[in-house]
Amino acid sequence: MDQKLLREREARCVQENPPGCTAGCPIHVDVRGMVAAILKGDYEAGVTLFEKMVPFPGIISRVCDQPCQKACKRKEIDDPISINALEKICVDSKHTPKPVVGLPEKNKKVAVVGAGLSGLTCAFDLARKGYKVVVFEASGVLGGSIRDITESKLPREIIEKDFAVFDQLPVEFEFNVVIESQGSSSRSFIGLRESFDAVYLGIGCKEQNALDLRVALDGNIAIDPVTLATSHPKVFAGGRLRRGCEERAPVTSIADGRSAAISIDRLMQNASLTANREKEGPFVSTLFTNTKGIERENKVPIIDLANGYSKEEAEAEAKRCLLCECRECVKACEYLAHYGSYPKRYVREVYNNLSIVMGIHHANKMINTCNLCGLCEQVCPGNLNMGEICREARQMMVERGKMPPSAHDFALRDMRFSTGDNFALSRHQAGFTASNVAFYPGCQHAASSPEQVKKMYQFLCDKLDGGVALMLGCCGAPANWAGQEALFQETLQKFEQEWRKLGSPKVITSCPTCFSMFQQNLPELQVEMLWTLLDRIGLPDKATTSTFARRKFAVHDSCTTRYEAALHKSVRNILGKLGYEIEELPRSRENTVCCGYGGLMIYTNKDVAHKVINRRIKESDTDYLAYCAMCRDNFASQGKRAFYLLDLLFGDEKKTGDEKDVPGYSQRQENRARLKRSLLREVWGETVQEPETEVKVIIPDRVRQIMEDRMILVDDVIKVIAHAEATGNKLKDSESNRYIAYFRPVSVTYWVEYSSQEDGFLVHNAYCHRIEILE
């Protein structure tokens, strides 16, 4: 990911874009922050946010024309938030003007003509930057047209309090001075241009011709809408002079004064007047905020017109604010929520993590935890896919030798088991020399429900013409998820070769992950899910006489096939044919969530994986139905009664749907190996020896669970004991009389505590580490 791609990706996440109100406010008051402060009862924090943007908070909190409301999200539901009334209560409850600190004085002078809101804002902003400012006002008071507002709406002491700020700034006022449009005296327009470095005209709706500035078609002075520049390089103009006098728009006048001050400051520094000013005035924010499910609730009326909201009323109104933000993906994905932030930040963390040469890679774990399920892309208004980013990052980590070896080692070894001789198989149907289709159950289906693989293969052979081949193996998904691109390609190619040897038959798979891997990576291979096929050709006879009681299932769709609408439909059709009632989970079909297995999360971050599973299984009390064996096992492992569709089809009464039928890691491998041996014997009539284990071990359930948690296989334990017994290299606890031995087959050192019994070795404990003992 280079800088450009980083930016492009960051930009897709709109979470940090301002809410509509702030974007629509010409001076960008942080309304959401202010409302949040009110909700906490912290009016001081509220007023601080307000004052940060507003030069005359007392005045504006009473008379703002609220252009922000037009862009308030709440307006889409009912009434916009009464933003100005909330500003008023903040100012009224807590406002004590803070001392203004300006920058050191500069030796540049600016003339401001007109002491209305725009002129005063311009003067205020420039004076704070250290410019000497002289304000020329035709009347004897500050404020211009705000003085026309009734005393009851805008008490005069509020005005005086706001303008007292000028006592602290290097601003001079010349009252009762009318700047002449003719002549060249020091009180003339031409005179000002000569004796000041810049001039701001904020003269309201006065006569404006004869100022010798270029005029636009409508007869008004031509003013650049962004920079407020006029035809004279030193002169800027804004406020009602620019907008006309029909409507009162005090906050827009303030924004004009501010823009003019920015232009003048840039002019003084010889900087570009036009660069980066797109978001200076009001703009339309692209922040997305989901309003689904929000009930109508009209605004809290202002009953006491003179004083505005009481605190109770203000709080009630504040509660209506949606505190707009996106976080759609964070709401949908437990993993994103777990890390406490949102993708805009995560993308940068990933980028930084990849850029570190020396130092700690803090984001490794985060990168390796994502399920790569693509739900974020589905729900994101900018279609940002964190899964794609994490997978790509893993690939780069592998390439650079920066992938923590412990992350995927176990899963990849399990994959090698499935692609190796113990499991991999590729045969034409017995008695056939060609194949029309090939059944590919995938490594996890075979590991979970080996009996059903046999039954389904038999069924397909009976039902389909032209020969049904059987292929056992692994599609390479673990390598793909681990970022091991080379290993993934190698695995795929091996599969492809076998498939071509069979004559490139159409592949029927029961595993959604195999399906998506093939579909995305082997364009020449035609692949179909078993479920759409069964929906088409009919179910096994036994299915309709299933011994499962007629009942309701909540369907869990697999995340790797979230966009396979036909598959979703077929699964539901099959359930319907079997007579079951179907419940749709809140997140289903293209919005489905991962079962916790995707991306190898279950191996890299078991805690988060368990959170993912637990969140999913709490979506409904109904028993779940999954059409991926792995999904089913994950739910059942956390105590949810869940069934695998194939188990329903064959009415396997042994399956209880709970954790008792979830095989552990060792059992999964054993199931695969046994499946292959029994198929070879039963289907192809071959003689296959049962493998002999070097030593016989007895492992109590408690120890089995420990091994499962620590990802230690029975086979690893056997290796340790066999090694110790063969070499005599073992220790003994002289008190308990148990042996202790260690052995390092490849990259992990396994320790086993055991004792010998007549019928084998009793295992008491097992643990492991990756650090190597060099002696």
Partner 1 sequence: MGKQAIQQQKIVCVKCGIYLTPGKVTLSYMGSTFPVELYKCAQCGLVYIPEDLARGKMQQVEESLEDK
Residues forming contacts to ligand SF4 in the complex (CB under 6 A) are 13-15, 19-21, 31-32, 35, 72-74, 81, 83, 321-324, 326-330, 333, 335-336, 342-344, 370-376, 379-382, 384, 386-387, 594
Residue 342 touches which of partner 1, ligand SF4, none (Cβ within 5-8 Å per kind): ligand SF4
CB of 389 to ligand SF4, least distance (A): 9
- C-beta closer to ligand SF4: residue 142 or 370: 370
Nearer to ligand SF4 among residue 288 and residue 553 (C-beta): 288
CA–CA separation, 366 and 653 (whole Å): 41
Sign of CA dihedral 332, 335, 336, 338: positive
Q: Virtual CA dihedral for 515, 597, 712, 406, nearest 10 degrees? A: 100
Answer yes or no whether residue 768 interacts with partner 1 by CB under 8 A: yes
Residue 609 touches which of ligand SF4, partner 1, none (Cβ within 5-8 Å per kind): none
CB neighbour class for 691 (10 Å; exposed up to 12, middle 13-18, buried from 19)? exposed
Of 229 and 333, nearer to ligand SF4 (C-beta) is 333
Determine, following the binding rule CB under 8 A, whether residue 405 of this chain makes contact with partner 1.
yes
Shortest distance (Å) from residue 724 CB to partner 1: 9
E-strand stretches of 124-185: 132-136, 171-174
The span from the CA of 201 to the CA of 122, in Å, is 10
Which residue number, 56 or 742, has a Cβ lying nearer to partner 1? 742
Q: Which is nearer to ligand SF4, 289 or 448 (CB)?
A: 289
Candidates 369-377, 401-409, 423-431, 483-491 — which segment interacts with partner 1 by CB under 8 A?
401-409
Distance CA 259, CA 147 (A): 23
Which residue in 16, 732, 745, 757 binds partner 1 (CB under 8 A)? 732
Residue pair 411/478 in contact by the 8 Å Cβ criterion: yes
Cα angle 135-138-139, degrees, rounded to a multiple of 5: 105
370 with 386: CB under 8 angstroms? yes
Say how far apart CA 594 and CA 373 lie, in whole Å. Answer: 6
Q: 8, 156, 731, 757: which one contacts partner 1 (CB under 8 A)?
A: 731
CB of 376 to ligand SF4, least distance (A): 3
Region for residue 642 given its phi and psi (left: phi exceeds 0; alpha: psi -120 to 50; beta: otherwise): beta
Residue 324 contact, options ligand SF4, partner 1, none, Cβ 5-8 Å cut-off depending on partner type = ligand SF4
Nearer to ligand SF4, 342 or 457 (CB): 342
- Tell me how far apart the 2 most distant CA atoms of the chain are, in Å: 120
Q: Looking at beta carbons only, is 381 or 404 nearer to ligand SF4?
A: 381
Least Å from the CB of residue 598 to partner 1: 22
The residue at minimum Cβ distance from ligand SF4 is 387
Report how far apart the first and last C-alpha atoms of the chain are (Å, whole number). 42
| Token digits of residue 30 | 């942080």
Which one of residues 338, 416, 610, 730 is an interface residue with partner 1 (CB under 8 A)? Answer: 730
Q: Which partner, ligand SF4, partner 1, none, binds residue 336 by CB below 5 to 8 Å per kind?
A: ligand SF4
Among 11, 464, 740, 762, binds partner 1 (CB under 8 A): 740
Quick check: 463 and 537 in contact, CB under 8 A? yes
Contact yes or no for 750/716 (Cβ under 8 A): yes
From CA 533, how far away is CA 508, in angstroms rounded?
8
What one-character DSSP code corresponds to residue 220?
Answer: S
Binding of residue 742 to partner 1 (CB under 8 A) = yes
Q: Which does 445 bind (CB under 5 to 8 A by kind): ligand SF4, partner 1, none?
A: none
591 lies in the site for partner 1, by CB under 8 A: no
**Binding of partner 1 at residue 705 (CB under 8 A)?**
no
734 binds partner 1 (CB under 8 A): yes
Place of tokens 């592949």: 507
Q: Residue 330 and residue 446: Cα distance in Å, rounded?
A: 34
Please list the residues that pair with 529 across neighbouring strands.
509
Residue 478 tokens, joined: 């673990």
Select from ligand SF4, partner 1, none the partner in contact with residue 767, using the beta carbon and a kind-dependent cut-off of 5 to 8 Å: partner 1
Dist. CA 332–CA 309, nearest whole Å: 37
Does 17 help bind partner 1 (rule: CB under 8 A)?
no
Stretch that binds partner 1, among 57-65, 219-227, 553-561, 763-771 (CB under 8 A): 763-771
460 binds, among ligand SF4, partner 1, none (CB under 5 to 8 A by kind): none
Q: Any idea what the Cα angle at residue 766 is, between residues 754 and 698, rounded to 5°?
A: 50
- Residue in the block written with tokens 């995927």: 408
Q: Which member of 503, 667, 751, 760 binds partner 1 (CB under 8 A)?
A: 751
Q: Report CA-CA distances (Å) from 398 to 348, 479, 481, 484, 618.
A: 19, 11, 11, 6, 36
Strands 760-769 and 235-237, sheet pairing: unpaired
Of 310-369, which residues contact partner 1 (CB under 8 A)?
Answer: 359-362, 364-365
Contacts of 7 (CB under 8 A, 6+ apart): none
**Closest to ligand SF4 by CB, 180 or 388:** 388
In the complex, the smallest distance separating the C-beta of residue 368 from partner 1, rounded to whole angstroms, is: 10
Partner whose footprint covers residue 770, from partner 1, ligand SF4, none (CB < 5 to 8 Å by kind): partner 1
Q: Which two tokens stand for residue 168?
A: 């602290």
| CB neighbour class for 577 (10 Å; exposed up to 12, middle 13-18, buried from 19) | middle
# of chain residues touching partner 1 (CB under 8 A): 32
726 makes contact with partner 1 (CB under 8 A): no
**Stretch near partner 1 under the rule CB under 8 A, chosen from 31-39, 149-157, 567-575, 761-769:** 761-769
Least CB distance to partner 1 at residue 605 (A)? 12
* Rounded least distance, CB 774 to partner 1, Å: 4
Question: Are the beta carbons of 360 and 353 closer than 8 angstroms?
Answer: no
Q: Is 399 in the site for partner 1 (CB under 8 A)?
A: no
Strand residue runs (E) in 88-204: 109-113, 132-136, 171-174, 198-201
- Min separation Cβ 158 and ligand SF4, Å: 24
- Based on CB atoms, which residue is closest to partner 1, 407 or 482? 407
Residues 6+ apart with CB under 8 A from 93: 43, 47, 311
Choose between 219 and 359: whose C-beta lies nearer to partner 1: 359
Binding site for partner 1 (CB under 8 A): 359-362, 364-365, 404-407, 728-735, 739-740, 742, 751, 765, 767-775
